[in-house]
Structure 1
Amino acid sequence: MTTEEGWHALEDGTKLYTKTWKTEGPAKARLVFIHGFSDHCNTYNSFFPTLSSKDIEVYSFDQRGWGRSVQKPSEKGHTGPTSQVLEDISSFIKTVTPCPIPLFLMGHSMGGGEVLCYAAQGPADIRQHIRGYLLESAFVDFSPASKPSPITVFFGRLAGKLLPHRQMVNKLDVQLISRNPAVQKQFLEDDLCHDTGTLEGLAGLLDRTGELASGKIKIGDAAGEGGVTRIFMAHGSKDGITNFGAAKNLFESVPAKDKEFKTYEGHFHRLHDEPSPENQKFMNDVADWILARSVDPVQVEVAKSKL
């Protein structure tokens, strides 16, 4: 496996740090990955190398306001509204399309909520390149262990409109992200995981979760390549950050014929970072789902006809 680092310039001049995990031989699929809140693309430890070892190239970036894309303190958490978040995702996807091999889009936590919004609201001319969508611990709603009060949510949305660029620290409980003490220590010591959002960005996150959980944002049956929605959702039953039940309810409402929901009993928020070897099951499931949908259906039918 080899990796490549770079920068992607957005239309407004903002530069996003990018990283690619390349395969040793010819790749069978490409995966664009969207990270979560107080996160960046270099925290995924063995996950991306595992996928690349299975002939899946991984393309990721530090979102606006996060990771190495932050050039000065005032930029921390400065993601902009949801419309800006989705535009940034579109801009990055354009760098890997048209794609000679099947392309998939995946997100973790906040990034999972963004990918769900993209499947519902992203530009049709870009979504037509996406073979399937994968969600890990998608942020559809807060877990009861992390859920803010309705008053906090109300004033958070109001403040986001009045003081959009005001920064606020929302520290994640590292003991809820993984049962692996080494991963907990990693996040405590990583200065790039700054736990800082702007009121505008946090209001956008609250709005997305509210609209996803209530069913206002709907994913249709023609959200991807070939006018087909293919969706894989994975969630730990003991996730203390995002809501397992809300994710399962959203999944049930998606009218896709090709959809799968995987429950990981006893697992916490970062399924790929749970203690080994339990995390390997999740990583293998992701790779298997992608590779099973990376075969040209026309070639499959031709092969069947020759039997």
Structure 2
Amino acid sequence: MVVEKEGTIDIGGQSLYTKSWLPDGQIKAKLIFIHGFSDHVGRYADGLFPALANRGIAVYGFDQRGWGKSVRKPADMGLTGRTSRVLSDMAEFIRPHLTKGCSDPPVFVMGHSMGGGQVLTLLSDENYQDSVVTKIRGWLLESPFIGFAPQEQPSSIKIFAGRLAGKLLPHQQLVHRIDPKNLSRDPKVVESIRQDKLMHNTGTLEGFAGMLDRTTALDKGVAMPKKKGAVKAIWFGHGTKDKTTSFESSKRYFDRCLGEVEDKEFRAFEGYYHQLHADGPDSEVFFREVGDWILKRAEEKIDEGREDQAAAVRPTEAKL
């Protein structure tokens, strides 16, 4: 049985919607989840989150500023703020869940699509290395936005014009629709996306510019972990048939920007589309592998804690 809890968190003068999926029993690990563009945490609630909670992994998510149930009025849609605001929101949501002692369950962070790009930017930002990054046991990226899939690549003229307009009218809203058929192979999921009124597909020029800046920095290898040992473990999952974000960009980033990370894995999901968590029956494989990866490292953390406790109570040998 999974226990679901709704709430809010006040960050930067705004109340953001939160929801958690908790095991009905021992919490073996905590997972903080960051959703994608025009998405909200409710989109992951039919499969991924309950599957993880049923295995002892507590999941905590929030609808980011400008998205989902954190939107209170039309002017809020897509009003994410600059990248500094986006990273600050994420860090403020993560901090209350961080472990306070060796007996606490380890914390993991996972980002999907736009949220994946945000997570990679956060773990690469020196401002958050000591206060957040070093305290996370592992990072997971689902179809992270590091580059556009060919079907979604905007022209250089459109990008230039958008950046210019963004400087003059940063809060100007712009609708950007992604064909639901390019997100999932499951017809039921495609239809549910079309019917989901919380998925408004509306961003601001400032928000789009920030997203492009983050993507460019990641794709060029400018944003990458710089402090050795800060990122303890990282897992990438990307579908080879993703029609939204670039599989090739993800693999390139993994190969050239994570050299300092010893515990790393790239999982290519053959034939999968963008939403690995909602791509038909095959998504069960994704659920299982994400859970296995987290629990393996959670068990290692628990074993380390037991060894530390044993060492603390071990009697000191008498000196002759």
5+ long unaligned stretches in structure 2 = 309-320
Instruction: After TM superposition, give the deviation of residue 299 of structure 1 in Å.
Output: 2.7
Secondary structure (helix, strand or coil) at the match of 1:295 reads: helix
**1:199-218 residue pairs with structure 2 within 5 A?**
199-218=205-224
Instruction: After TM superposition, give the deviation of residue 149 of structure 1 in Å.
Output: 0.6
Instruction: After TM superposition, give the deviation of residue 157 of structure 1 in Å.
Output: 1.7
Secondary structure (helix, strand or coil) at the match of 2:51 reads: helix
Which range moves more in the overlay, 102-111 or 157-166? 157-166
2:146 to 119, 129, 140: 140
Secondary structure (helix, strand or coil) at the match of 2:150 reads: coil
**Aligned partners of 2:225 and 2:231 also within 8 Å:** no
| Paired position in structure 2 for 1:2 | 3
1:99-134 Cα deviation digits (max 9, x unpaired): 521000100000000000011015121212211110
The letter of the residue matching 2:122 is Y
| Identity over aligned pairs, percent | 45
Counterpart CA distance in 1 for 2:114 and 2:61 is: 15
Confirm whether residue 176 of structure 1 aligns to residue 167 of structure 2: no
Instruction: After TM superposition, give the deviation of residue 221 of structure 1 in Å.
Output: 5.7
1:130-178 Cα deviation digits (max 9, x unpaired): 1111000000010001110111111212222211000000001100000
RMSD over equivalenced CA pairs, Å: 1.6
**1:46-125 residue pairs with structure 2 within 5 A?**
46-99=47-100, 100-121=104-125, 123-124=128-129, 125=131
The letter of the residue matching 2:105 is I
Counterpart CA distance in 2 for 1:279 and 1:290 is: 17
**Aligned partners of 2:123 and 2:231 also within 8 Å:** no
| Paired position in structure 2 for 1:258 | 263
Counterpart CA distance in 2 for 1:219 and 1:268 is: 28
Instruction: After TM superposition, give the deviation of residue 297 of structure 1 in Å.
Output: 5.0
Confirm whether residue 239 of structure 1 aligns to residue 242 of structure 2: yes
Counterpart CA distance in 2 for 1:18 and 1:293 is: 26
TM (normalized to structure 1)?
A: 0.94
| Paired position in structure 2 for 1:35 | 35
Counterpart CA distance in 2 for 1:5 and 1:33 is: 15
| Paired position in structure 2 for 1:271 | 276
**1:161-200 residue pairs with structure 2 within 5 A?**
161-200=167-206
**Aligned partners of 1:222 and 1:229 also within 8 Å:** no
Counterpart CA distance in 2 for 1:298 and 1:51 is: 18
Alpha-carbon distance change, 47 to 297 in structure 1, aligned in 2, over 3 angstroms: closer
**Aligned partners of 2:133 and 2:231 also within 8 Å:** no
The letter of the residue matching 1:31 is L
The letter of the residue matching 2:294 is I
Counterpart CA distance in 2 for 1:119 and 1:20 is: 23
TM (normalized to structure 2)?
A: 0.90
Counterpart CA distance in 2 for 1:198 and 1:228 is: 32
Which structure has the larger Rg? 2
5+ long unaligned stretches in structure 1 = none
Counterpart CA distance in 2 for 1:73 and 1:177 is: 25
